[in-house]
Structure 1
């Protein structure tokens, strides 16, 4: 499935775009089910949890922390004002997560019951025993779809050693105006400087993994490379494989079009995954990919 050049590009740049990896009928099924889920969920008993990505104001309530084996809905920051939605719920949700790959047949078929996906994982050789641990539909709503700043996935799905690998599937056209992803090629060699954890007193936060001097050096190098980011526009069915340490981001969606994408992550089953991580398996263990 992968050419030698494609495999080399992934390990050199830290990401790889695979065009038309998901066939149109499956893309249509994922998009249709995503919109159906948004239409069906009950707003009356929802805590109006917003998804935020800032270092000092990240989501951390129980609705979020217990979502690993459930299907939960998280609102855009600008969609909730004074405890009320500013728009219809279908146009207010930032993402649906985090157990879609286990609980929803259309998503399970693409993630866990997909022989082509298994072949890709084998050929990539990134994991020996890959486990799927979370999945999301990210809607990037028109006008209010929030910016996602520079980050790497291993910060949020930390293992020792780092082993996160992301699979990001476009369900709609992803363009420069509605929040397509941008990547800093080669930045996967940058040290993971912090990790996102459950705080002992409740909620979530970041704890350092390196000295302040190393963190400052990494931040300075990243700032100096900001003009080296590459924007990767995608068509429905394109999939981006994302090294857990590569820096990437997306801009705010100020267009009049949504940017639906389905993304899931794997980790190495033989790496250490501890209780500090925000995402815990709860009643549903992480699923093996190569069965």
Structure 2
């Protein structure tokens, strides 16, 4: 599906921007050309095949309990130091009580993170804004739709920064459920500003655990808790009450925007089945989730998150993810 130069320059059409603002999410079909999807899958399989188990701490990724706000999130040094590295985290059901894998390693990994956008040239290419910007790792993709920088500009970012990136493998038969959560709980700025860019590298369906969204919840669901590093500890994370702003700036946000007469439990989630190559944008306050994958077909996605790095936004030193050394989080604007 082709786009005009004005659509590419704007990142989002007016209708797309309106849908995102009203619902808190947006699906952009065919955002990645097939050749790029293939290249990213090839890189994913190369990473899965090449990492060593010899010195791996067998860290498993935990989703934080039934409601996503529990205290059992992963928090060892291998995880906490991953902001400037590429590291591998296993599905909870892929490791037995003795710490041994119950599946081949390429079918046991839940997540690869969190600096793919800095250390993997194929993934870094998605952030390139022009051929001139491709001198550093990553090759400019000429037919990439909805370029992240252009999308961020359309969403009102002044200085968008990519702070983490991940490949998530919803593995066949053991792919864990992710309970309802909000991304700004884990990637907090004062005030909240996170937006997720979620790319399907394989079809995501109801059968293999696609995302589901609670439309409009970004307007009324506050960021009540935050995942932070435990104070005075070299390892460990915990959920703490959020004592800062709970919504982005704007009169459209607030707990009084909640639909009258309906509890959170009565709200209906909308499934987001998407084809490979699709981009899903996710507001940091939006409640979303995914179910277990008990099917024989997995799904692989790539996601990165953008926060506002401009004036008036503070990235808290308690956040579990800290800035990599040097220039800090990766700017989207050249």
The TM-score, its normalising length taken from structure 1, stands at 0.93
SS in 2 for 1:254: coil
SS in 1 for 2:189: coil
Q: Deviations over 1:262-285 (max 9, x none)?
A: 000000002100110000123251
Which residue does the alignment assign to 2:269? 229
Q: Which runs of 5+ in 1 are unaligned?
A: none
How do residues 180-219 of structure 1 correspond to structure 2 at under 5 angstroms? 180-189=210-219, 190-200=221-231, 201=233, 202-209=235-242
Shift in Å, 1:123: 2.1
Is the contact between residue 34 and residue 277 of structure 2 (CA under 8 Å) also seen in structure 1?
yes
Which stretches of structure 1, 4 residues or more, deviate above 3 A after TM superposition? 112-115
Q: Measure, in 1, the Cα distance between the counterparts of 2:181 and 2:148.
A: 25
Shift in Å, 1:210: 6.2
Q: Measure, in 1, the Cα distance between the counterparts of 2:263 and 2:315.
A: 29
Which residue does the alignment assign to 1:63? 78
Comparing both chains, which one has the higher relative contact order based on Cα–Cα distances under 8 Å and sequence gaps of 6 or more?
A: 1
Which residue does the alignment assign to 1:167? 197
Query: Could you tell me which of 108, 122, 129 is aligned with 1:92?
Result: 108
Which residue does the alignment assign to 2:332? 289
Q: CA RMSD in A?
A: 1.8
Residue 57 (structure 2) pairs with residue 47 (structure 1): yes
| Structure number with larger C-alpha Rg | 2
Q: Measure, in 2, the Cα distance between the counterparts of 1:196 and 1:52.
A: 13
SS in 1 for 2:315: coil
SS in 2 for 1:169: strand
Q: Deviations over 1:57-107 (max 9, x none)?
A: 110000000000000000000111121111110000001000000000000
SS in 2 for 1:60: coil
Shift in Å, 1:124: 2.6
Is the contact between residue 59 and residue 204 of structure 1 (CA under 8 Å) also seen in structure 2?
yes
Shift in Å, 1:162: 0.2
Query: Could you tell me which of 267, 276, 280 is aligned with 2:322?
Result: 280
Query: Could you tell me which of 24, 29, 41 is aligned with 1:19?
Result: 29
Q: Measure, in 2, the Cα distance between the counterparts of 1:141 and 1:148.
A: 13
> How many residues in Structure 1 have an aligned counterpart in Structure 2?
283
Which residue does the alignment assign to 2:170? 140
Is the contact between residue 129 and residue 269 of structure 1 (CA under 8 Å) also seen in structure 2?
yes
181-190 or 116-125: which moved more? 116-125
Q: Measure, in 1, the Cα distance between the counterparts of 2:88 and 2:160.
A: 26
Query: Could you tell me which of 146, 154, 160 is aligned with 2:184?
Result: 154
Is the contact between residue 71 and residue 237 of structure 2 (CA under 8 Å) also seen in structure 1?
no
Is the contact between residue 140 and residue 178 of structure 1 (CA under 8 Å) also seen in structure 2?
yes
Q: Which runs of 5+ in 2 are unaligned?
A: 1-6, 65-69, 130-139, 245-254
Residue 42 (structure 2) pairs with residue 32 (structure 1): yes
Q: Measure, in 1, the Cα distance between the counterparts of 2:210 and 2:188.
A: 25
Q: Measure, in 1, the Cα distance between the counterparts of 2:243 and 2:82.
A: 29
Q: Measure, in 2, the Cα distance between the counterparts of 1:209 and 1:154.
A: 11
155-164 or 54-63: which moved more? 54-63
The TM-score, its normalising length taken from structure 2, stands at 0.82
Which residue does the alignment assign to 1:249? 289
SS in 1 for 2:82: coil
Which residue does the alignment assign to 2:87? 72
Which residue does the alignment assign to 2:122? 106
